[in-house]
């Protein structure tokens, strides 16, 4: 992709009507945590405080994993990228504690005890890649990406050689790329793409490593749905070599 090109996005940007509290969060709180066009990628100034490490979550959906990881790891700066407005609003609700039906306070702030360590990119992450310096991220999460199971849609799958090139560039050597999926086709596809890529090494040594949730895992909505519908998610960790 050329720098001037805007990539084509095939997913949904908007879903159900966004109710009042979440609309207010998008209007009044998102600008406080959004990665603006002039934001500098710098561990000292990018977040509400200096951070030791940076983790990036791509396609955070409803934000449960991102919000949970950020709470557990207060010294890490988190970048979350998502295009789906309803999902972004849900993340904002999780981190501010403001839900539908609660009275809106005059000033919206983070819930008590939560650090200011999340920044949100509310657009296609491929547009953000160009701005992230080499080796900036310590961990990258791509959790339950849209599987695009039909063969003719395979080029839409997020795990592809072009995106892997960017992920390898922005991930520190020794850093982790975690891909979770509940889809058989996507599992095989991901393992093949990463096996072909000399920048990554699958870290699994036995089935226990990838058939079960990693220790630092936070459950997501898609994972719960997959399990309810009888599909078994897999958790694939790759080291940047
Ligand atoms: C199947 S959902 C999974 C959501 C979440 N990770 C979870 O496990 O619950 C995939 C999400 O990735 C988002 N997504 C897909 N491509 C993206 C891109 N290029 N940039 C940002 N978000 C993207 C979609 O909007 C969608 O919300």
Structure confidence by residue, pLDDT tens digits, 50-98: 999 999 999 999 999 999 999 999 999 999 999 999 999 999 999 999 9
What φ, ψ does residue 154 adopt, rounded to 5°? Answer: -55, -30
Residue 70's CB is within 10 A of a number of other CB atoms, namely 26
Q: Measure the CA–CA gap between 168 and 186, rounded to whole angstroms.
A: 20
User: Catalytic: 197?
Assistant: no
pLDDT in tens, 196-238: 999 999 999 998 889 999 999 999 888 999 999 999 999 999 9
Residue 61's CB is within 10 A of a number of other CB atoms, namely 22
Topology (CATH level 3) of domain 20-240? Rossmann fold (3.40.50)
Distance of CA 48 from the midpoint of ligand 1 (Å): 25
Catalytic residue among 146, 182, 209, 237: 146
Our mutation pick for probing the ligand 1 site, out of 12, 68, 82, counting the most ligand atoms within 8 A of Cβ, is 82
Helix (H) or strand (E) holding 201: strand 200-202
Residue 194's CB is within 10 A of a number of other CB atoms, namely 19
Ligand 1 atom closest to the Cα of residue 61 is 4
pLDDT in tens, 147-178: 999 999 999 999 999 999 999 999 999 999 99
Backbone angle region of 124, left / alpha / beta, with phi > 0 → left and psi within -120 to 50 → alpha: beta
State the pLDDT at residue 3.
52
The predicted model scores a pTM of 0.95
Sequence ranges of the domains in the chain:
20-240
Distance of CA 106 from the midpoint of ligand 1 (Å): 32
């Amino acid at each position: 992709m050329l720098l001037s090109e805007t990539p084509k996005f095939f997913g949904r940007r908007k879903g159900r009507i966004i109710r009042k509290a979440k609309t207010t969060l998008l209007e009044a709180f998102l600008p406080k945590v959004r990665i603006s066009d002039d934001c500098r990628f710098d561990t000292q100034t990018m977040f509400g405080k200096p951070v030791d490490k940076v983790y990036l979550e791509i396609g955070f959906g409803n934000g449960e994993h991102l919000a949970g990881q950020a709470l557990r790891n207060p010294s890490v700066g988190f970048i979350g990228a998502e295009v789906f407005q309803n999902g972004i609003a849900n993340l904002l609700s999780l981190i501010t504690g403001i839900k539908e039906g609660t009275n809106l306070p005059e000033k919206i702030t983070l819930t008590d005890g939560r650090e200011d360590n999340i920044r949100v990119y509310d657009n296609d992450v491929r547009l953000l890649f160009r701005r992230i310096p080499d080796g900036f991220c310590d961990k990258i999460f791509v959790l339950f990406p849209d599987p695009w199971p039909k063969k003719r849609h395979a080029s839409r799958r997020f795990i592809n050689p072009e995106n892997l090139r960017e992920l390898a560039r922005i991930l520190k050597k020794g850093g982790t790329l975690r891909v979770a999926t509940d889809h058989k086709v996507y599992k095989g596809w991901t393992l093949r793409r990463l096996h072909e890529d000399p920048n990554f090494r699958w870290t699994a040594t036995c089935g226990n490593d990838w058939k079960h949730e990693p220790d630092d895992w936070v459950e997501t909505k898609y994972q719960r749905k997959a399990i309810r519908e009888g599909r078994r998610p897999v958790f694939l960790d790759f080291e940047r070599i």
